Amino acid sequence: MIVLDTHVLIWLDQASDQLGTVAREQLDLAFNNNALTVSAISLWELAMLKSKGRVELPPLRRWRNELLDMGLGEIPVNGEIGILANQLNDFHPDPADRLIVATALSADATLATADRRILEWAGGVHRLDAGRG
């Protein structure tokens, strides 16, 4: 299973060339195997970014429903994930990133991200560098 970081969800949806070829192939494979997911916190993060004018997206409820109908999975934030997010050692304080990483850890999934802070973190989450080749 692969959990998409928020920016990777946007890149994938918009067919951005910021998404690396290797990552795109792995994401397509996961999608075809019903193993591509997103943390529910990413939708909150996108709503915040959209309200601040930092991203352009269609109406979020409709967009989310279309993605789910196409087969994207969504993992809700629960108490276990919240506790795990608080226990990430030496991780930066951004709450959305903490919850996304905790979501991937709790699902024993790979996190697709291009966020250098996450990619370089010494913690035990499986990572896919979404911005590479």
In 3D space, the residue among 114, 115, 89 whose CA is nearest the CA of residue 102 turns out to be 89
Q: State pTM to two decimals.
A: 0.96
Residue 133 reports pLDDT greater than 70: no
Residue 36 reports pLDDT greater than 80: yes
Q: For domain 2-129, give the CATH number.
A: 3.40.50.1010
Can you tell me the distance from the alpha carbon of 29 to that of 82, in angstroms, rounded to the nearest whole number? 29
Can you tell me the distance from the alpha carbon of 49 to that of 110, in angstroms, rounded to the nearest whole number? 24
In the block, tokens 């499986």 appear at: 126
Residue 45 reports pLDDT greater than 70: yes
Can you tell me the distance from the alpha carbon of 89 to that of 109, in angstroms, rounded to the nearest whole number? 19
Can you tell me the distance from the alpha carbon of 104 to that of 50, in angstroms, rounded to the nearest whole number? 24
Portion of the chain with pLDDT greater than 70, in percent:
99
| 71-93 average pLDDT score | 97
